Amino acid sequence: MTGVMNGAFSLTGRRALVTGANTGIGQAIALGLAQAGAAVVCAGRRSCDDTEALITAAGGSASSVLVDFTDPMAGQDLFAGQDYDILINNAGIIRRADAVDFTENDWDSVMDVNLKALFFTTQAFARDLIARQMQGRVVNIASLLSFQGGIRVPSYTASKHGVAGLTKLLANEWAAKGINVNAVAPGYIATNNTEALRADPDRNQAILDRIPAGRWGDPADIAGAAVYLCTPAAAYVHGAILNVDGGWLAR
């Protein structure tokens, strides 16, 4: 059957860069993009061999590049001549401590990776697209803490509020240029970043009690939302922050 939705969810012929693709949410998104037909380049400060292997086993196309986003300008030279038209900004870190004890180093390190590197990498991506007069998609990985305060993660919360704001600002500037900028805000997902929470029985149970879906999210739950925002089906979606949280914010 053919119709208006024919091909609306296909990424065939597209080329995507996924940052922080070596594990967790980034790995799942990279696999999802490849399954939708995109050629995927996995970027991370650690080897993305496992992600490449998963994509290849699924019949997809993958390669990788080592990039350390603790240098916020590390993404400046990733795009020229590479024909990317999708960028997934997933790379991020977290530091936990009471606000009264939080150090300048823990503040700066998180802000550099989660916010400054995200902005300047996206800037380089957009400059390349605009120079080529091409359309493209940016999907930032935000957080529930783009909307809430959380506890013991001051720089992470500040950075993710910043990601939400930048998503809207860049959408305002680039929508008319054919560049869609959106974000996905994951809820509590079973990844390395949440291992400490899941290992604390009281905190783990308190989180589960708040989630209407009754479970921690899986990285694959985020992949579907990110892939959707890159497809023709989301052509008129600009500046959105899509919550994928098992109903947490609805509670």
- Catalytic residue set: 156
Q: Within a 13 Å sphere around the CA of 12, how many CA atoms are in the beta-carbon half?
A: 5
204/136 Cα distance (integer angstroms)? 39
Give the burial string for 125-138 (b: 16+ CB within 10 Å, else e).
bbebbeeeeeebbb
Q: What share of the chain is helix, strand, coil (3-state, %, to 5)?
A: 45, 15, 40
Give residue for tokens 């024909």: 83
What are 242's strand-pairing partners? 184
* CB of 70 closer than 8 Å to CB of 120: no
φ, ψ for residue 55 (rounded to 5)?
-65, -45
165/146 Cα distance (integer angstroms)? 9
13/184 Cα distance (integer angstroms)? 23
114/67 Cα distance (integer angstroms)? 14
Identify the helix (H) or strand (E) that includes residue 139: strand 136-141
60/237 Cα distance (integer angstroms)? 27
* CB of 55 closer than 8 Å to CB of 105: no
